[in-house]
């Protein structure tokens, strides 16, 4: 018997108010135990709404969400196995960082020692600032405290919305390392991001969404392999763009100085070179590119057309 997925989302649809705009539209994905899954999309793609629905904060218009095999409803007990950071941290401003985490933990009714408060505060790296009122914290400090809060009580699942937002590059690396360590310990992680590089360097799997809909999901390798692109340096980039843009099997062509990037869907790199040479354009360099960024842009481009 295959182990039960930690998260199952089936046909999630969410419409706010009576407007016709769907924040999330028939969206499905699963997250297996131990995976680090990146929920990737531009701002407004519906990532946060999906995470809120997963935590029982927002009621689906249609569809079903399950965590640990249980249908999500507001306040279900399974949420105590989840650590969350959704749309920025939220703390009582006049209390200290430490007091905030204590109060947060005690509200749930599990014994205080189970929180492993000191270990979580250690991760925040706030030092003596944990005993100062939160209202004096910088955005980055609050974000780090929020990350610590999510880790209280050793959760089995972490749901993190833009976890590195507002952090400086060194802190981003620290968070990334912490996530990889947690995953190595068997914690399942779902994080949302609009930063491709973040997802690419941290996640094992990726779910790409755009305008509320699923574009593609799978392992990072599988998603990047599903699309191909090429970087070329030519003597006349503008002429090359015109020529390649209308070529069969090419999804998109854009400049990427000093060269151009061409997203492929059927055409091979040798097809490109042949077409350019036939068009009288000299080709200097051809490089195969398969980063998640290329894949993402290409998937979005394909969605628009």
Given candidates 57, 178, 273, 300, which one binds other proteins under the rule CB under 8 A?
57
Binding test (CB under 8 A) with other proteins, winner from 4, 42, 94, 238 = 94
- CB nearer to other proteins: pick between 108 and 249: 108
Using the structure block, give the residue that is written with the tokens 């491709």: 196
Near other proteins by CB under 8 A, which window of 106-114, 174-182, 204-212, 258-266? 106-114
Collapsing DSSP to helix, strand or coil, 180 comes out as helix
Which residue in 21, 69, 71, 88 binds other proteins (CB under 8 A)? 88
260 and 250 in contact (C-beta within 8 Å)? no
- CA pair distance 141, 151, nearest whole angstrom: 15
One character per residue 199-228, x = contact with other proteins (rule: CB under 8 A): ------------------------------
**Do residues 200 and 293 lie in contact, with contact meaning Cβ atoms separated by under 8 Å?**
yes
Encoding tokens for residue 10? 């089936």
CA-only gyration radius of the chain, Å: 22
For other proteins, the closer CB: 82 or 129: 82
Q: Is 52 in the site for other proteins (CB under 8 A)?
A: yes
Check binding of 154 to other proteins (CB under 8 A). no
Site for other proteins in 4-33 (CB under 8 A): 16
List 13, 32, 95, 226, residue binding other proteins (CB under 8 A): 95
Q: Give the contacts of 146 (CB within 8 A, at least 6 positions apart).
A: 85, 88, 89, 90, 91
Least distance CB 5 / other proteins (angstroms): 20
Determine the size of the site formed for other proteins (CB under 8 A).
Answer: 34
How far apart CA 160 and CA 193 sit, in angstroms, is: 9
Pick the closer one to other proteins by CB: 17 or 186: 17
Strand order in the sheet with 228-234: 250-256, 259-264, 228-234, 283-289
The CA distance from 117 to 81, in Å, is 16
Which listed range, 1-9, 102-110, 178-186, 212-220, lies at the site for other proteins (CB under 8 A)?
102-110
Q: Are strands 157-161 and 82-85 parallel, antiparallel or unpaired?
A: parallel
Q: Is 90 in the site for other proteins (CB under 8 A)?
A: yes
Q: Which residues bind other proteins (CB under 8 A)?
A: 16, 52, 55-59, 74-77, 79-80, 82, 84, 86-95, 99-100, 103-104, 106-109, 149
């Amino acid at each position: 018997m295959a182990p039960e997925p930690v998260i199952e989302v089936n046909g999630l649809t969410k419409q706010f108010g009576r407007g016709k705009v769907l924040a999330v539209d028939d969206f499905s994905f699963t997250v297996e135990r131990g995976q680090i899954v990146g929920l990737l999309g531009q701002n407004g793609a519906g990532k946060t709404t999906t995470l809120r629905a997963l935590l029982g904060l927002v009621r689906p218009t249609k569809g079903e969400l399950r965590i640990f095999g249980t249908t999500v409803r507001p306040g279900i007990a399974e949420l105590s196995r989840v650590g969350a950071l959704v749309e920025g941290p939220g703390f009582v401003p006049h209390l200290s960082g430490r007091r905030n985490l204590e109060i947060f933990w005690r509200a749930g009714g599990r014994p205080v020692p189970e929180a492993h408060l000191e270990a979580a505060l250690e991760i925040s790296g706030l030092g003596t600032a944990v005993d100062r009122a939160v209202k004096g914290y910088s955005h980055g400090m609050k974000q780090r405290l929020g990350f610590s809060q999510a880790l209280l009580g050793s959760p089995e699942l972490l749901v993190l919305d833009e976890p590195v937002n507002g952090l400086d590059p060194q802190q981003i690396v620290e968070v990334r390392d912490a996530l990889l360590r947690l995953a190595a310990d068997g914690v399942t992680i779902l994080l949302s991001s609009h930063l491709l590089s973040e997802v690419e360097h941290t996640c094992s799997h990726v779910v790409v969404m755009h305008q509320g809909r699923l574009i593609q999901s799978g392992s990072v390798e599988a998603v990047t392999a599903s699309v191909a692109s090429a970087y070329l340096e030519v003597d006349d980039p503008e002429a090359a763009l015109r020529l390649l843009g209308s070529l069969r099997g090419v999804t998109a062509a854009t400049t990427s100085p000093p060269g151009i990037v061409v997203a492929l869907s059927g055409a091979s790199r040798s097809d490109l070179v042949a077409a350019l040479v036939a068009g009288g354009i000299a080709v200097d360099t051809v490089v195969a590119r398969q980063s998640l960024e290329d894949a993402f842009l290409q998937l979005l481009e394909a969605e628009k057309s």
